[in-house]
Amino acid sequence: MKGKFIVIEGLEGAGKSTAIATVQAWLQAKGLEVICTREPGGTPLAEQLRTLVKQADLQEQIAPETELLLMYASRVQLLRNVIEPALAAGQWILADRHDLSSRAYQGGGRQLADSLINAIRQAVLGQTRPDFTLYLDIDPALGLARAAARGALDRIEQEQLAFFERTRAKYLQIAATEPGIAVIDASQPLAQVQAALVEALEQAAL
């Protein structure tokens, strides 16, 4: 029996780590074998690409197209070496970010054309798509304040507020027009966010 692929998405400070722990506990309580991973990253090479793309003190500016290609290079490594084999073996994948992040951050935030992103995603991801995505929605100003309170910000986290406002708008646009994406209000108290996550999972009938 093939496994399922669940993704947690959201802006900085939305609480993805806590959400992943909540969803993982819910799945494991059902006796499911769960592999948690993250993007960019998840394999040795992909983790090196993560370090590169998030490094705050690079000596040159990364072009938006370069950033997009680095994200997909990391993603396809994870897909081929971890996600697809695990799903084929009947395991469940719980991922911190996936393809929707590039569509929102590089498409919305960096304002790259949807046609470019769609061509790349189709070429490298094929027909593999998450079975369900939980998008943690938060006002960018609140999310960035939470992220700053955690410590030093990486290269992307240091972007201007307008970048994250465009990113959020793209997330919400996609969530409103495509199936399999649940929007969770991440500005609520933790207990309410956790309850909303569980409710969305139960309604998804995975």
Q: pLDDT band at residue 105, thresholds of 50, 70 and 90?
A: very high
Q: Residue 18: what pLDDT?
A: 96
Domain extent at residue 150: 5-204
Q: In this predicted model, what pLDDT tens digit does every residue of 123-178 receive, in sequence order?
A: 999 989 999 999 999 999 999 999 888 888 899 999 999 999 999 999 999 999 99
Q: Residue 1: what pLDDT?
A: 72
Residues 20-31, mean pLDDT to the nearest whole number? 96
Q: Residue 152: what pLDDT?
A: 81
> Which CATH number belongs to the domain containing residue 160 in this structure?
3.40.50.300
Instruction: Retrieve residue 171's tokens.
Output: 């997330």
Residue 11: which residues within 8 A CB-CB, separation 6 or more? 136, 138, 140, 143, 164, 167, 168, 171
Count of domains observed in the chain: 1
